[in-house]
Amino acid sequence: MHRNNRRVFSVVCGLLVAVLALSLLSWSTAQKDAGTGVDTVLERAESGEDKPGQVGPFPDSPTGRSGAPGRSVPDRPSGEVALLANPLYETGRLSPLPCPVPDVDVDEPASMEVFLNQVADCLDDVWQTQFERAGIAFSPPDRVFWTEPGVSPCRAYPSAAGAFYCRAGGAIYIGTEDVVEKWNGAEESVVYASLLAHEYAHHVQGESGLLEYYHEQRRLEEDDAGRNTWTRRSELQANCLAGAFLGSVRVSYPLAEDDLDVLLDDASATADREGEPDEKRTHGSPENSVGWTRSGWEEQSPGACNTWGVEDESRVQ
């Protein structure tokens, strides 16, 4: 009887040791994998590849967003149709929804954050309405208005740009102090509203199905010059969509002709410099940057921002 008990005890102890060993092995593997993930994020942060949106969408989600397990995600327009004949282009003028924004003290990060959140609320309302007209599902982006360094699924921040959109995380990232420094302390609020609306426009491109095809086609190009032909069209479209939003809310914001002048001056200043080689040109010429921004402001319609369907190549250079 005692001999049988000792035998059972030995078997139980052996099983416990085996379970403990397997647990330690699993923990070690998980830690190694976690470390690899961080390295990948940092590599992406340094490369800045595939702008806008930084990285391509998740392959198992039509929206490019990671959802909860079992959650159904509606289909989006895809392929060349998403670029050239997107239903969003047929939705007409943006609704002039009320968007009274508070004054902003650019030297106070807290004031800047309040301002950006108010403008982002307006962007959510305006684009939600437009996507409903198009019959396309829409989820507003998350917002990360940072004052401290961090890491997004796309890249680390602060970043040289001061602001970026990360499709993989479905979020807009803006440094509330960084952008003021980058824009030399500009006090006109339309500068920062335009920056936010531009990054938001990349989210609009993603939610409309456009970014998936953009990333696919851009990666087929063999050199930077070829890839940048795609990037310029995307950036110029984002300029136009930002101008459309600001034009639609200019009465309640309010924005005057002086603000339009500031907006267009900023569009020119953030464009490619004259004489730069195609390998470095990603945002379009000053003339085109201003032209597409003005078109958005005046037309206030996504259909006026179809940079992919223009036959005159000089307009997207």
**DSSP secondary structure of 120-157:** HHHHHHHHHHHHHHHT----PPEEEEESS-EE-SS-EE
The predicted-structure confidence for 217-255, as pLDDT tens digits, reads as follows: 999 999 999 999 999 999 999 999 999 999 999 999 999
CB 166 within 8 A of CB 153: yes
Amino acid identity, residue 146?
A: W
C-alpha–C-alpha distance, residues 1 and 302, integer Å: 85
Residue 59 contacts by C-beta under 8 Å, 6 or more apart in sequence? none
The string of DSSP letters for 227-288 reads: HHHHHHHHHHHHHHHHHHHHHHTTTTTT--HHHHHHHHHHHHHTSPPTT--GGG--S--HHH
Amino acid identity, residue 304?
A: A
The string of DSSP letters for 62-103 reads: TTS----TT--------HHHHHHS-GGGGS-SPP--------
The predicted-structure confidence for 204-221, as pLDDT tens digits, reads as follows: 999 999 999 999 999 999
Start-to-end Cα distance in the chain: 90
C-alpha–C-alpha distance, residues 129 and 228, integer Å: 32
Would you tell me how many other CB atoms lie within 10 Å of the CB of residue 217? Answer: 15
For residue 58, give the nearest of 42, 45, 43, 71 by alpha carbon: 71
CB 276 within 8 A of CB 285: no
Query: What's the CA angle centered on 40, arms 37 and 41, to 5 degrees?
Result: 90
Q: What is the pLDDT of residue 226?
A: 95
pLDDT, averaged in runs of 10, over the chain (317 residues): 42 40 37 31 34 48 34 72 96 97 97 98 98 97 97 93 94 97 97 98 97 95 96 98 98 97 97 92 97 98 97 95
Helix (H) or strand (E) holding 164: strand 163-166
Q: What is the pLDDT of residue 29?
A: 38
